[in-house]
Amino acid sequence: MAGLVERAWRRAPCHTSQWPLGRRTQGSAQAAQITHRSTYRRLGSQHAVGNVVIGRRCARCRREVGTDWHRLRFTDSDPYSGVDIDNCRDPDTGQIAEWAWEVIQALDSYTEISPSGTGIHIIVRGKLPAGQGNQAALHGGKVEMFSRARYFTFTGAHVAGTPAEIYDRQAELLELHGRLFGKRSTVENIPTPSPALLPSDDELITKARQAQNGSKFERLWNGQWEGDYPSQSEADLALCSLLAFWTGRDVVRIDRLFRRSGLMRKKWLRKDYREETMAKAIENTTETWKPGQPEQLNGHAARGSVVAAAQHASIDPPWPTGPQAEAFHGIAGELVETISPNTEADSAALLVQFLVASGNVIGRRAHCIAGADQHYPNEFAVLVGASSKGRKGSSWSAIQFVLGMADSEWLNACVQTGLSSGEGLIWAVRDEITTREPIRTGKERQVTGYQDVVKDHGISDKRLMVVESEFASPLRVSERDGNTLSAVVRQAWDTGRLRVLSKNSPARATGAHISIIGHVTKDELLKYLTDTEAGNGFANRFLWVAVKRSKLLPDGGDLHKVDFGPLIRRLASAIEFARTAGEIKRDREASQLWHNVYPQLSRDRFGLFGAVTSRAEAHTLRLSCLYALLDCSAVVTASHLLAALEVWRYCEDSCRFIFGDALGDVTADTIRLALRRNPAGLTRTEINNLFDRHKSADEVARALELLRSQGFAISGSKPTKGRSVEYWIGT
């Protein structure tokens, strides 16, 4: 927006056709347009709101109009659109209706209060389809969307917690427009088969791997396109064509499966590229697989090798073994034991959420030191269900109830939901905001000095417990251009000093004690967690916990009959102790145990699994301190550390189940997959044949050594009539 607004502001004469200066005439809600043009003007007081420059026009304009508001006309020649939401804001309290916040968060671009004070304006880069409705009633308010032949009056009253700049939101704009006025799609005429007629996604993937051209599908699915295709875009099309065959040309399912593949990249998030690729694939797919039809119909002859004969072996990672007794130490274990018989929630979900939430209730005083870093008892965790039946939400309800009884102030003031932007997260725990303003005296209003003026008193309680029941939502918005959520979340875990590098975001936070609990399904997580978030340290600051329904309780259990009194009193005492504790240290036995396990915790890790588990030692350290504080102890004992290690063990095994344990090395992962499918092992010659001689002997040797170093394969030799034969077995 800087280009459009600032050029128009600084260079164009006043009152151009795109930038008319408006005033309200008496008895009329319409703005009268001034017709004179000034070739010179003085910029008076001027300030920037994001990329939108708001200031005073020429002296003649101010005399004749009497206002500093300016208006932008949306035209076909500019790239901007506006969304006007009326009757959504209380002008007295400043409260914005929840339904309007959903629209604001969905578009995630510059937002300000409208001149009436009862509505908001959102400006985005993007254009709406012509010839369709642009006004709709919504929850007692009204939403208007326009890209042309309309004006916006700028007030400069930026809505706190929203981006201070204008961003490209073409896909989000069309999605909102489609929801309100009818969706347009380049693939809308393609029939979608009934999902009841098709197997699950995992079953389809297995069938595709077992087909005669399963090796081709396997390479594409694992992202191994180099050497087979001149570009990744052609590989994308090839995989989409295979998926079109197996899904019956189901667009939604093709998209969902593609996002799980190794070819998934940021370019796929571009709607134009995604839809064009799927449309081409569907157009080229004249036949589709039908349930019961032999898998061999879609493929070429398989290679005559031992690997092709083993295509039926399943490689789906097993569900992790649940947390063992060590994890249920002290009051945490007693609470889980008390709640479990009366809920369908997973005991792992109850345990981890209690640890995270109690760490937030405790606050930011107790800490442990590792090198130059101080670690406080705030943690982040995401519960990952294999499906929506994981009872993630019910597990939080029970924990929230118990902790709320121990600290009602925390429950009422510090538990919030809605992760959409870094600015919004900072605003929830902001420091006092002051500005330096001139002191003017006398008739001439001359500046005689300066003073600090408090604009906002900030938040005194820096504890914030964010519970995001739809964690896929922040994963989606964090990938948008300019969104600062990922960076601020990392700051919250590391130091509690929060800020964004934008001159138009005055809010800062120090001493912020933020904890996060998220709920998501495995499919959603794999769909929206990008390589960027995995690689930049966002994902490894979370504990990823696989959860499922533990039992069936048709009547819902009798949790309301449980007497939590004794537990709540003990918990309140532990919280009171923890708030006075300082540095937490280990005793001798715990120190020896830490030295023994540290090499394993800090070992090199590879692939996506390695990226999301690379803070093992830091998470274990914080968890051990939490167990100690809940025992009213400022010393970590061996039992506290063993409890933390068992929780981390379950989280690490959960990551293997959720993300797989691929190394991220194409050659090594291909060999490892083949070894899994051939439990008796493969000879070196058979391993070389996996790549149809497209990999050198040195490259294969390097990959095998990597597998050996990570404990994924061992080698041996078999005697023959001639030379002995080298063979490899997966472990």
Q: Kindly report the backbone phi and psi dihedral angles of residue 242, in degrees, each rounded to the nearest multiple of 5, phi listed first.
A: -65, -40
The C-alpha atoms of residue 630 and residue 625 are separated, in whole angstroms, by: 9
Model confidence pLDDT, tens digit, residues 591-627: 999 999 999 888 877 777 888 899 999 999 999 999 9
Q: Which residue has the tokens 């003017």?
A: 440
The C-alpha atoms of residue 336 and residue 323 are separated, in whole angstroms, by: 12
The C-alpha atoms of residue 71 and residue 493 are separated, in whole angstroms, by: 42
In DSSP notation, 497-521 reads -B--S-TT----BSS-EEEEEEEEE
Torsion of CA 144, 145, 148, 154, to 10 degrees: 70
Model confidence pLDDT, tens digit, residues 83-134: 999 888 888 888 888 788 888 888 888 899 998 889 999 999 888 876 555 7
Instruction: Please give the residue that has the higher pLDDT: either 47 or 141.
Output: 141
Facing residues of 277 across strands?
Answer: none
Q: How is residue 484 written in tokens?
A: 């600062």
- The enclosing H or E element of 72 equals strand 70-74
Closest Cα partner for 427 from 365, 499, 530? Answer: 499
Model confidence pLDDT, tens digit, residues 161-196: 788 888 888 878 887 887 777 644 344 444 444 443
Q: Which CATH number fits domain 666-730: 3.30.380.10, 1.10.10.10, 1.10.600.10, 3.40.50.150?
A: 1.10.10.10
Locate the domains of the chain by residue range.
Answer: 2-169+177-181, 195-306, 327-553+561-583, 666-730
The C-alpha atoms of residue 152 and residue 131 are separated, in whole angstroms, by: 21
User: What's the one-letter identity of residue 173?
Assistant: L
Q: Which fold has domain 327-553+561-583?
A: Rossmann fold (3.40.50)
User: Within a 10 A sphere around the Cβ of 74, how many other Cβ atoms?
Assistant: 21
DSSP 383: E
Whole-prediction pTM value? Answer: 0.59
pLDDT at 389: 57
pLDDT at 1: 39
The C-alpha atoms of residue 247 and residue 624 are separated, in whole angstroms, by: 47
Is the Cβ–Cβ distance between 75 and 177 less than 8 Å? no
152: left (phi over 0), alpha (psi -120 to 50) or beta: beta
Facing residues of 21 across strands?
Answer: 70
By percentage, how much of the chain surpasses pLDDT 70?
80
pLDDT at 68: 44
